[in-house]
């Protein structure tokens, strides 16, 4: 088991360290709370029906969609701004899409699914096996839209942060439904700010990622993969030709418009953000 995890983890009921540690389970003798240890990881929650197990996709600063690349840059900046000793918890880390950013950091990864890359499996909206104010930095990268009871999760995030600590969020807005059917929400930035304040946070950063070319490209891919195959043969051939023409025009347009950009939603002329980046601070 991860040493850092072993030093921080507590019984979710009494917040005292587990005192009975066997290979297959841990138990708190004060209240009898017991958790199974699965492949060296504590597993606090039976896998919820709303969990989605997906295959690992290789990610990196230059890999994935433009939104993912913007996420990478944003998160990297936030982590670089942290003290060397800062305790970081990556919540809903999945296969560790951003794990590389946390190299040489005091870092733990948690997900509701016991993926090989996580340190513990736990639904933090339901069970909190850490003491109040444990972490300096909490990370929710493309997670919030997949959490049905997100208010409970935000409460736990506030509880887990040290005063002065930060919660870093990336959440999509104009991005297609993904990991279906476990995709529940799209939030406007007004809602995100309201939720943050409602849960006691201060908003220290809010930016939208805007990318009209990527946005148009998504629509074209939708046409290509979902609409065209259903057309009768001759219409399909004609439509495919038109689509190829449009796609080459879009590539041409990109030469002039350029890549996506990050801007405050209050200053952006294009209101359709691909997604939002937020940094919330616990006062």
Work out how close the CB of 14 gets to Zn ion at its nearest, in angstroms, rounded to a whole number. 3
Work out how close the CB of 5 gets to Zn ion at its nearest, in angstroms, rounded to a whole number. 17
Work out how close the CB of 37 gets to Zn ion at its nearest, in angstroms, rounded to a whole number. 16
Work out how close the CB of 30 gets to Zn ion at its nearest, in angstroms, rounded to a whole number. 4
Work out how close the CB of 15 gets to Zn ion at its nearest, in angstroms, rounded to a whole number. 7
The structure tokens listed for 245 are: 């023409």
What part of residues 221-250 is at the interface with Zn ion (CB under 5 A)? none
Burial class (CB in 10 A: 0-12, 13-18, 19+), 24: exposed
What part of residues 12-31 is at the interface with Zn ion (CB under 5 A)? 13-14, 28, 30-31
Work out how close the CB of 19 gets to Zn ion at its nearest, in angstroms, rounded to a whole number. 9
Which of residues 43 and 75 has its CB atom nearest to Zn ion in the complex?
43
The structure tokens listed for 271 are: 């209101």
Work out how close the CB of 44 gets to Zn ion at its nearest, in angstroms, rounded to a whole number. 13
CA dist list (Å): 238 to 49, 216, 218, 222, 232: 44, 20, 20, 17, 10
Which of residues 15 and 259 has its CB atom nearest to Zn ion in the complex?
15
By CB under 5 A, residue 194 contacts Zn ion: no
Which of residues 31 and 132 has its CB atom nearest to Zn ion in the complex?
31
The structure tokens listed for 125 are: 């909206």
Report residue 103 CA to chain centroid gap: 18
CB of 25 closer than 8 Å to CB of 34? yes
Listed ranges 6-14, 93-101, 116-124, 264-272: which one lies at the site for Zn ion (CB under 5 A):
6-14
Query: Could you give phi then psi for residue 224, rounded to 5 degrees?
Result: -60, -45
**Tokens 């809903």, residue located:** 92
Which of residues 15 and 56 has its CB atom nearest to Zn ion in the complex?
15
Report residue 127 CA to chain centroid gap: 19
Beta strands in the chain (DSSP E): 20-21, 25-27, 34-38, 41-42, 87-91, 106-111, 120-121, 135-141, 161-172, 202-210, 261-263, 275-281
Q: Of the candidates 93, 107, 196, 117, which has an alpha carbon nearest to the alpha carbon of residue 150?
A: 196
| Residue in 8, 11, 87, 138 binding Zn ion, rule: CB under 5 A | 11
What part of residues 28-47 is at the interface with Zn ion (CB under 5 A)? 28, 30-31, 33
Could you tell me how many residues of this chain bind Zn ion (CB under 5 A)?
Answer: 7
Listed ranges 5-13, 96-104, 185-193, 209-217: which one lies at the site for Zn ion (CB under 5 A):
5-13
The binding site for Zn ion (CB under 5 A) comprises 11, 13-14, 28, 30-31, 33
């Amino acid at each position: 088991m991860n040493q850092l995890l072993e030093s921080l983890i507590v019984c979710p009921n009494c917040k005292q360290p587990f005192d009975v540690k066997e290979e297959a389970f841990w138990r708190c003798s004060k209240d009898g709370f017991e958790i199974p240890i699965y492949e060296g990881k504590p597993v606090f929650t039976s896998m919820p029906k709303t969990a989605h197990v997906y295959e690992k996709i290789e990610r990196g600063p230059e890999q994935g969609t433009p939104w993912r690349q913007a996420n990478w840059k944003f998160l990297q900046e936030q982590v670089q701004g942290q003290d060397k000793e800062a305790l970081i918890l990556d919540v809903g880390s999945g296969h560790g899409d951003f794990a590389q950013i946390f190299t040489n950091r005091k870092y733990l990864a948690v997900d509701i699914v016991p993926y090989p890359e996580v340190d513990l499996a736990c639904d933090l909206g339901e069970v909190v096996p850490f003491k109040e104010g444990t972490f300096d930095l909490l990370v929710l990268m493309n997670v919030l839209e997949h959490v049905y009871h997100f208010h409970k999760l935000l409460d736990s995030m506030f509880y887990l942060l040290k005063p002065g600590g930060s919660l870093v969020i990336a959440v999509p807005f104009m991005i297609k439904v993904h990991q279906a059917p476990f995709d529940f929400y799209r939030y406007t930035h007004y809602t995100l700010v309201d939720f943050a304040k409602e849960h006691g946070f201060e908003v220290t950063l809010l930016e939208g990622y805007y990318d009209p070319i990527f946005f148009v490209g998504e629509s074209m891919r939708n046409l290509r993969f979902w609409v065209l195959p259903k057309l009768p043969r001759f219409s399909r051939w004609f439509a495919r030709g038109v689509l190829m023409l449009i796609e080459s025009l879009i590539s041409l347009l990109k030469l002039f418009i350029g890549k996506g950009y990050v801007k405050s939603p209050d200053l952006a002329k294009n209101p359709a953000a691909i997604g939002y980046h937020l940094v919330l601070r616990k006062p």
